[in-house]
A = this chain, B = another copy of it.
Amino acid sequence: MVEQDTQQHLQTVTDSLESGGTMQIKYLLNGALPAQDVARLLESSPPKERRLLWDLIEQKNEGEILQYLSEDISVQFLKEMDTEQLVAVTEQLESDDLADILQNLPETVVAEVLASMTAQDRSRVESLLSYPEDSAGGLMNTDTITVRPNITIDIAFRFLRRHASLPDMTDSLLVVSRSDRFLGTLPLTKLLVADPDASVREIMETETTVIEADAPASEVAQLFEKMDLVSAPVIDEASGKLLGRITIDDVVDVIRDEAEHSMLSMAGLDDDEDTFAPIMQTSKRRAVWLGINLITAFIASYVIGLFQNTIDQVVALAILMPIVASMGGIAGSQVLTLVIRGIALGHIGAANTRWLLNREIVVGFLNGILWAIVVGALTAYWFDNIEIAYIIAGALIINLLFAALVGTLLPITLKRLGIDPALAGNVILTTVTDVVGFLSFLGLATIFLI
């Protein structure tokens, strides 16, 4: 329903743009649709339309919409604003969203935006800017509600009632000392059932998940998933001071990005690849990946070239040779994908590599035998030649064993070397299965046929 809605709105907008009418679009963009839907609509539009739509949004609505836009798109819009506009728009943003956006703008612009803020807001945003975007500090927000441990529950209630509203996703109050050291959390669910005369100290939880500001975002995501958290306090490791809190909505984005990262990387695509990026930008990014893969292809061709004379004498080899290479590639990429996921989930590491390798070698061998028989039989029938059938069967088993070996060890090794296995894994794997495929098939043929 959500997808269909976007597509439907998009159709309405496209039709209106074509017929030159902007009344209905303006109505949709400025109030009729919630900000989240407008953001989706912008993300689903090609660059030119996106530009047009953005210009139809009233300035007072821009801030809320920016908050839901993916970062590369929002930065695009912000870069084109003058400082005055920028200040007006960024006033509406939460401190963590603002910090993320500022990190992508030129320094002079950042300085001007910061100068326009109140001292308190500025120091908040500046402290957020000091952490990398993909760390706990970069994910956190500073809108915490803090209480002291020595007050009673009843006073805590009265303290809360003095607020006009509490920040979204507030599921607990954070208990801090006079010097802002983090002491524990007081979940609202406990607060609500507590004896009014008890002190916060008696009720608060101290064995709570605390996140250090320099923890990587991926670790934060794993903690949230593991502990089923809605929010968690972020502290400065050295001083134990409370810096802010991370909420599940930002963590969900990390989880989604992380899970997508592997799939996109395996195809050589950028994480923040905009589906509707302009042609030249897209062409350049893709060209790099094609260039890298071309090297693989030429290496494979070079190996085939070594056996030029053999192919010249038995042309059937040229017809059959892609089968061995392609089966190895498929088998290898299955293992590779499984291991990359296992590493990402923390299931695979030094302690179980040996077991996994053993299993994959056996699985590769069993499937090698099975498909060697099938391919051998088909080959014998097709070319009426039992020798070539034996040769392709042997080559297939060899290549599936190599595929299992490389598919298992390559991502683990790359990870240890600090190289992203999802990005480099498939290219290297394909090079190996192509080379081993052609080498074993044409090599065996040269030995036994010629």
- B-contacting residues of A (Cβ < 8 Å)? 1-4, 6-7, 10-11, 14, 36-37, 40, 43-46, 68, 157, 160-161, 163-171, 188-190, 192-194, 215, 219, 222-228, 230, 248-249, 252, 255-256, 259-260, 262-264, 266-269, 273, 275-276, 279, 282-283, 286-287, 289-291, 293-294, 296-298, 300-301, 304-305, 308, 311-312, 315, 318-323, 325-327, 330-331, 333-334, 336-338, 341-342, 345-352, 355-356, 359, 362-363, 366-367, 370-371, 374-375, 378, 430, 434
Please state if B290 and A327 are interface contacts (CB–CB under 8 Å). yes
Please state if A334 and B269 are interface contacts (CB–CB under 8 Å). yes
Please state if B341 and A294 are interface contacts (CB–CB under 8 Å). no
Residues of B within 8 A of A276 (CB): 347, 352, 355-356, 359
Residues of B within 8 A of A230 (CB): 169, 171, 230, 248
Name which residue of chain B comes closest to A323, CB basis: B297
Please state if B326 and A296 are interface contacts (CB–CB under 8 Å). yes
Residues of B within 8 A of A342 (CB): 275
| Nearest CB of B to A318, in Å | 4
Please state if B2 and A223 are interface contacts (CB–CB under 8 Å). yes
| A44-B346, A330-B289 known; A7-B256 Cβ under 8 A | no
Give the distance in Å from the alpha carbon of A293 to the alpha carbon of B359 in the complex. 22
What are 29 residue pairs bridging A and B, where the CB atoms are less than 8 Å apart in the complex?
A1-B215, A36-B227, A161-B192, A161-B194, A166-B189, A166-B190, A167-B189, A169-B230, A170-B189, A230-B230, A248-B248, A259-B259, A259-B260, A259-B263, A263-B266, A266-B337, A267-B336, A269-B334, A275-B348, A282-B359, A283-B366, A290-B371, A300-B323, A300-B326, A301-B323, A318-B318, A322-B322, A322-B434, A326-B430
Name which residue of chain B comes closest to A191, CB basis: B192
Given A267-B338, A297-B326, A322-B325, 6 more pairs with CB closer than 8 A? A1-B215, A2-B226, A166-B193, A168-B228, A275-B345, A297-B323
| A319-B304, A363-B279 known; A294-B346 Cβ under 8 A | no
Please state if A347 and B2 are interface contacts (CB–CB under 8 Å). no
| Nearest CB of B to A229, in Å | 8
Please state if B346 and A6 are interface contacts (CB–CB under 8 Å). yes
Give the distance in Å from the alpha carbon of A364 to the alpha carbon of B259 in the complex. 27
Please state if A192 and B160 are interface contacts (CB–CB under 8 Å). yes
Please state if A36 and B283 are interface contacts (CB–CB under 8 Å). no
| Nearest CB of B to A345, in Å | 8
Please state if A6 and B349 are interface contacts (CB–CB under 8 Å). yes
Please state if B337 and A267 are interface contacts (CB–CB under 8 Å). yes
Please state if B7 and A327 are interface contacts (CB–CB under 8 Å). no
Please state if A269 and B7 are interface contacts (CB–CB under 8 Å). no
Please state if A43 and B347 are interface contacts (CB–CB under 8 Å). yes
Residues of B within 8 A of A161 (CB): 192-194
| Nearest CB of B to A353, in Å | 10
Give the distance in Å from the alpha carbon of A219 to the alpha carbon of B6 in the complex. 13
Residues of B within 8 A of A298 (CB): 323, 378
Give the distance in Å from the alpha carbon of A93 to the alpha carbon of B248 in the complex. 24
Residues of B within 8 A of A371 (CB): 287, 290-291, 294
Give the distance in Å from the alpha carbon of A227 to the alpha carbon of B232 in the complex. 20
Residues of B within 8 A of A347 (CB): 6, 40, 43-44, 275-276
Residues of B within 8 A of A249 (CB): 228
Residues of B within 8 A of A45 (CB): 352
| Nearest CB of B to A8, in Å | 8
Give the distance in Å from the alpha carbon of A256 to the alpha carbon of B221 in the complex. 11
| A256-B255, A259-B260 known; A320-B337 Cβ under 8 A | no
Residues of B within 8 A of A323 (CB): 294, 297-298, 300-301
